[in-house]
Copies of this chain bind each other. A is one copy, B any other.
Amino acid sequence: MSEQVTDHMTGDEDGALLPQPETGDIRLVKILHALGDPTRLHLLRVYANGEQCDCSSERLGLDHLHKSTVSHHMRIMREAGITSTRAVGRNRYVQLRRADLDARFPGFLDALLKSAEGEEL
């Protein structure tokens, strides 16, 4: 059988990968700088629970922020090497770069997430 185009978005078909640093080019100080902001530390915890579509502010618990501001934070996290974003249609599928971060800084992400668990925004 040949490939058949599906009607509905499954969320796992490939989409254009937005620009992000190579694993080897991820710099620790840039990660720390990116996460040294309450909003982005919050986003880290959101994406730690799995891939997320829907960048809308309400869904991310950021209803007090303008959508352009959210987009700005997304870009900083992506350019720091923390998240990876696939553009599929009008949606963005964002996920943590767990494997890459573990390869570059073993144990760091786990320790960080565990430390962030009990913290309020």
Which A residues lie at the B interface, using CB under 8 A?
27-30, 32-38, 41, 105-108, 110-112, 114-116, 119
Residue in B closest to A111 when the chains form the complex, CB atoms: B111
- A interface secondary structure, majority: helix
Separation in Å of the A104 CB from the closest CB of chain B?
8
Task: Tell me how many chains of this kind the complex includes.
Answer: 2
How far is A27 from B116 in the complex, measured between Cα atoms in Å? 9
Separation in Å of the A83 CB from the closest CB of chain B?
16
Q: Is the CB–CB distance between B41 and A36 below 8 Å?
A: no
Q: Is the CB–CB distance between A28 and B119 below 8 Å?
A: yes
Q: Is the CB–CB distance between B37 and A41 below 8 Å?
A: no
4 nearest A-B pairs in the assembled complex, by CB-CB distance? A33-B36, A111-B111, A105-B115, A32-B36
Q: Is the CB–CB distance between A115 and B28 below 8 Å?
A: yes
How far is A116 from B29 in the complex, measured between Cα atoms in Å? 9
How far is A34 from B65 in the complex, measured between Cα atoms in Å? 24
Among A38, A41, A112, the most chain B Cβ lie within 10 Å of the Cβ of A112
* The residue from B29, B35, B108, B116 contacting A41, defined by CB atoms under 8 A apart: B29
